[in-house]
Structure 1
Amino acid sequence: SGDSMLDIAREMKQRGARNIYCAVTFGLFTEGVEHFDKAYEEGIISKVFATNLIYRRPELLAAPWFADVNMSKFVALLIDAINHDSSLSNLIKPTDKIKKLLASKGDLKDMSGNS
């Protein structure tokens, strides 16, 4: 239902958090989106990110607080790796890709603190 997520978001707001972004793999929203609409209107949450790995109702996709995370490419890469008997570790643990991305942006510092 998402109630525990919203409870935690409210607690974080009370402790001074300015923006709260939630992430879920399977955003079922079994009890509707009204609780999240209200939390968004009250400034409790800024955004909820959920994958497209399940059906998402039109009212969810239209919500201003909802961000749909497209996992199609990732799933295709998993299927391809399985079909080629390749290791999935590079897909599951993308540390090297993240480091490369940060380095290309100049945001990654080495252990000595140098850029």
Structure 2
Amino acid sequence: YLGESVEGKDVFIADDIIASGESMLDIGYELKMRGARNIFTCCTFPLFTAGLEKFDKAYNDGIIKAVLGTNLTYRKPELLEREWYYDVDVSKYTAYFIAAINHDKSVSSIIDPMTKIRTLLDKHGIPMGGQQ
């Protein structure tokens, strides 16, 4: 790990796939040794082909706080029962992509985070950075 100090900070680790989880857990253990407070992990495809035991241990040892995974792939029933696992439903966004492509429209508004942030702030009456 070559980044700045993580001491006392919450850390978010993202990856595309969890098969064995080795790389994600290696980073988690290293960050915890460096004083990270809570470690949250996220992946697009939570396959867990090598089993769940290593993540169970990491959770029980206080290394990871949670794993968030999308519903874009099959998830084993035992994964969905884990206390540390949060299933993230992205069906709506998948449908947006399909609709945009079918209508030959740009998907840029779907992937533009500023549009989503601005909409959320407006909904709650919160001015955007520096606006009064």
* 1:7 equivalent in alignment to 2:26: yes
Residue aligning to 1:59: 78
The number of residue pairs the alignment matches comes to: 112
Of 70, 74, 78, which aligns to 2:89? 70
TM-score normalised by L of structure 2: 0.78
Change in CA separation of 1:81 and 1:49 when aligned onto 2, cut-off 3 Å: same
For 1:65-92, what per-residue CA distance to the aligned partner results, in whole angstroms no more than 9, with x for missing partners? 1010101100111111111111101112
Structure 1: distance between partners of 2:55 and 2:129:
38
For the residues of structure 2 that align with 1:61 and 1:18, how far apart are their CA atoms? 25
- Amino acid in structure 1 at the alignment position of 2:129: K
User: Counterpart in 2 of 1:32?
Assistant: 51
Which whole-Å CA distance do the structure 1 matches of 2:33 and 2:68 have between them? 22
How high is the TM-score relative to the length of structure 1?
0.89
The structure with the largest helix share of the pair is 1
Higher strand share: 2
- Runs of 4+ residues deviating >4 angstroms: none
Q: Structure 1: any 5+ residue segments left out of the alignment?
A: none
Q: Deviations over 1:14-71 (max 9, x none)?
A: 1111111001011111100000000000000000111100000001000111010101
Specify every segment of 5 or more residues in structure 2 that has no aligned partner in the other structure, as ranges.
1-19
What SS does structure 2 have at the residue aligned with 1:24? strand
Match of 2:117 in 1: 98
Aligned identity (percent) is 54
